[in-house]
């Protein structure tokens, strides 16, 4: 599904109204009716509850008036609190305010002059609050009376339904602007806003529902949308039917170079991840002294010994053998358990330049790029990087906290500057192509915060690359399937105690479910 900035959504509204002639009041009606339907789904006993609608100025307040009217029509006990002078509303919002006034709904004006104490007393009796205070146009910190209102709502601890987005949230960046409503449910209008999907914004949203407000497909649908909220429907077409006369050579051969003392499991998990992704063949190349361990541990994954350093890491002498192994391979994964030995990292840097296979760089291969980022511009084949925030921080000489606070800008600038596909892991993993196309992953849960899960992801992405997917598509499919496998496990076990190898068993079912969407 396409994800948009606040500015883009406003532009779509203008096209619908000014070019296509759809009255704004119609869009507002659709928005309010759709949001009311969302409320009933999450609060089916609302008929016996007291609902307070907080209406700010502008169209967001107007949406609140429409919601109040529909709730009143459905015999819900609803009161509207206008947070600005009644006579100051304009346009479609004013029209809908006048309608509910004529219907004798309870509408109270509560402005700063009346004081926050009055509102605190009024809201104390509410069972459910509708937040239609501030909309997507907010671009400066919330101050004064509105800030006091938002803080009050959060202090009360009542369930809150936010209309379009929680008041105080930047629709495009996901940053709270001074303060922000903590919503239970957010009914966003038209299309999901980027700020609702990424961290930290997603932590304020609660359950997210997208409300169809009647914008024509010609307005909202574009080919290769610059930003997508990555869901199953976006990926189903990537699961291609397999011919009855297929053989193991039909689905690509992945080479993984990794492993060092104490970290052999990382390479093994990456190899199994590639196999579970459906790659026909997988070879794991490890330092020679560790090869026997991998021969015993792995059955389906082939193994290959490499020349090693005195510290039992991959030596520069191994480079010619790796280059020979690359012949006939469709994907190369570097990094799982590899170590940051100086000689080993030199092998990584040389392979980035010389490999004709698409590459996936993870863990130690990513860390080894610090101070050598220019090598990415000389890569001989497409490159995918899969850092977590700490690794990304080391690449850019910034703290992990700084990366987390600027995730969107980081992935887009880095991908375009160095011509790579970047997978910035974490809650709501971001995938950005070298051309700037961004995907925000919808799957996954805290159970993935466990050692080795990143190695499985590396293998999945490499396995999809080997089957002929583009770097961006392989990264998107790998990230989504990885998170969805964790979601399936969390349903059965919860999100504690999940191990990386547990994910492997779930991947075939996730792929089967995706394929079923196209049948």
Residue of 479, 423, 433 whose CA lies nearest to 456? 479
337, 266 Cβ separation under 8 angstroms: yes
pLDDT recorded at residue 519: 61
Residue of 379, 409, 383 whose CA lies nearest to 396? 409
pLDDT recorded at residue 246: 94
d(CA 28, CA 227): 25
Confidence (pTM): 0.94
Query: Could you read off the pLDDT of 370-408 as tens digits, one per residue?
Result: 999 999 999 999 999 999 999 999 999 999 999 999 999
d(CA 479, CA 234): 13
Angle in degrees, CA 200, 203, 209, rounded to 5: 115
pLDDT recorded at residue 387: 97
Query: Could you read off the pLDDT of 274-324 as tens digits, one per residue?
Result: 999 999 999 999 999 999 999 999 999 999 999 999 999 999 999 999 999
Joined tokens for residue 204? 């304020």
pLDDT recorded at residue 386: 98
Query: Could you read off the pLDDT of 441-494 as tens digits, one per residue?
Result: 999 999 999 999 999 999 999 999 999 999 999 999 999 999 999 999 999 999
d(CA 410, CA 431): 11
Query: Would you report the helix, strand and coil content of the chain in percent, each value rounded to 5?
Result: 50, 15, 35
Q: How would residue 104 be classed by pLDDT, with cut points 50, 70 and 90? A: confident
Joined tokens for residue 512? 């089967």
Residue of 452, 4, 496, 5 whose CA lies nearest to 265? 452
Q: What average pLDDT does the segment 1-28 reach?
A: 96
Please give the helix or strand (H or E) that residue 26 lies within, else none.
helix 24-42
Query: Could you read off the pLDDT of 212-227 as tens digits, one per residue?
Result: 999 999 999 888 889 9
Joined tokens for residue 175? 């940053």
Helices (H), 43-180: 58-73, 91-102, 116-123, 144-156
Q: What average pLDDT does the segment 114-138 reach?
A: 92
pLDDT recorded at residue 518: 74
**Does the structure show a pLDDT above 70 at 147?**
yes
Q: How many CB atoms lie within 10 A of CB 144?
A: 8
Q: How would residue 6 be classed by pLDDT, with cut points 50, 70 and 90? A: very high
Please give the helix or strand (H or E) that residue 418 lies within, else none.
helix 407-418
- Residue 187 phi/psi, 5° resolution? -100, 95
List the strands of the sheet with 207-211, edge to edge. 106-109, 77-82, 50-55, 128-132, 160-163, 185-189, 207-211
d(CA 269, CA 365): 16
Helix (H, G, I), strand (E, B) or coil at 157: coil
Walk me through the domains of the chain, giving residue ranges and CATH numbers.
Answer: 6-221 (3.40.50.10260), 234-239+248-516 (3.40.1190.20)
Q: How would residue 115 be classed by pLDDT, with cut points 50, 70 and 90? A: confident
- Tell me what the pLDDT averaged over the chain comes to: 96
Q: Say if residue 221 is preceded by a cis peptide, omega within 30 of 0.
A: no
d(CA 229, CA 83): 33
Q: How would residue 96 be classed by pLDDT, with cut points 50, 70 and 90? A: very high
Q: How would residue 103 be classed by pLDDT, with cut points 50, 70 and 90? A: very high
pLDDT recorded at residue 418: 98
Q: How would residue 29 be classed by pLDDT, with cut points 50, 70 and 90? A: very high
d(CA 281, CA 275): 7
Query: Could you read off the pLDDT of 39-83 as tens digits, one per residue?
Result: 999 999 999 899 999 999 999 999 999 999 999 999 999 999 999
pLDDT recorded at residue 223: 84
Helix (H, G, I), strand (E, B) or coil at 512: helix
Angle in degrees, CA 328, 330, 336, rounded to 5: 115
423, 479 Cβ separation under 8 angstroms: yes
């Amino acid at each position: 599904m396409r994800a948009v900035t606040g500015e883009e959504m406003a532009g779509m509204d203008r096209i619908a109204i000014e070019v296509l002639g759809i009255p704004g009041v119609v869009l507002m009606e659709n928005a309010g009716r759709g949001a009311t339907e969302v409320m009933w789904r999450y609060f089916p006993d609302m008929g016996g509850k007291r609902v307070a609608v907080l209406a700010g100025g502008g169209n967001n307040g107007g949406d609140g008036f429409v919601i109040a009217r529909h709730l009143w029509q459905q015999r819900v006990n609803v009161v509207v609190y206008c947070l600005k002078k009644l006579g100051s509303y304009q346009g479609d919002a004013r029209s809908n305010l006048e309608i509910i006034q004529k219907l004798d709904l309870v509408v109270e004006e509560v402005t700063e002059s009346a004081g926050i104490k009055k509102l605190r007393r009024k809201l104390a009796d509410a069972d459910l609050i509708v937040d239609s205070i501030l909309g997507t146009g907010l671009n400066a910190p919330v101050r004064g009376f509105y800030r006091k209102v938002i803080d009050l709502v959060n202090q009360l601890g009542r369930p809150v339904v936010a209309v379009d987005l929680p008041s105080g949230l930047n629709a495009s960046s996901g940053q709270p602007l001074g303060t922000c409503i903590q919503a239970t449910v957010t009914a966003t209008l038209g299309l999901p806003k980027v700020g609702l999907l990424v961290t930290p914004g997603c932590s304020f949203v609660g359950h997210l529902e997208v409300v169809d407000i009647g914008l024509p497909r010609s307005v909202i649908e574009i080919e290769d949308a610059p930003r997508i909220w990555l869901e199953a429907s976006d990926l189903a077409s990537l699961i291609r039917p397999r011919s009855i006369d297929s053989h193991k050579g039909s689905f690509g051969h992945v080479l993984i170079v990794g492993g060092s003392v104490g970290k052999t499991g990382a390479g093994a998990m990456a190899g199994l991840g590639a196999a579970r992704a459906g790659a026909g063949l997988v070879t794991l190349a490890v330092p020679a002294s560790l090869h026997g361990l991998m021969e015993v541990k792995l059955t389906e994954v082939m193994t290959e010994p490499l020349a090693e350093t005195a510290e039992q890491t991959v030596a520069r002498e191994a480079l010619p053998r790796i280059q020979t192994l690359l012949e006939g391979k469709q994907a190369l994964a570097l990094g799982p358990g590899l170590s940051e030995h100086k000689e080993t990292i030199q092998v990584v840097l040389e392979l980035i330049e010389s490999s004709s296979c698409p590459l996936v760089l993870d863990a130690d291969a990513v860390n080894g790029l610090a101070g050598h980022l220019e090598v990415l511009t000389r890569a001989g084949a497409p490159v995918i990087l899969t850092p977590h925030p700490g690794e990304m921080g080391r690449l850019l000489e910034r703290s992990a906290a700084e990366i987390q606070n600027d995730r969107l800008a980081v992935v887009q600038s880095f991908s375009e500057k160095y011509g790579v596909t970047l997978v910035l892991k974490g809650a709501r993993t971001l995938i950005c192509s070298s051309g700037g196309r961004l995907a925000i992953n919808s799957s996954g849960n805290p159970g993935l915060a466990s050692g080795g899960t990143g190695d499985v992801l590396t293998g999945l992405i490499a396995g999809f690359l080997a089957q002929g997917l583009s770097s961006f598509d392989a990264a998107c499919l790998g990230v989504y399937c990885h998170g969805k496998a964790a979601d399936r496990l969390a349903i059965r076990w919860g999100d504690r105690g999940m191990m990386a190898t547990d994910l492997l068993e779930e991947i075939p079912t996730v792929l089967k479910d995706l394929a079923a969407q196209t049948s």
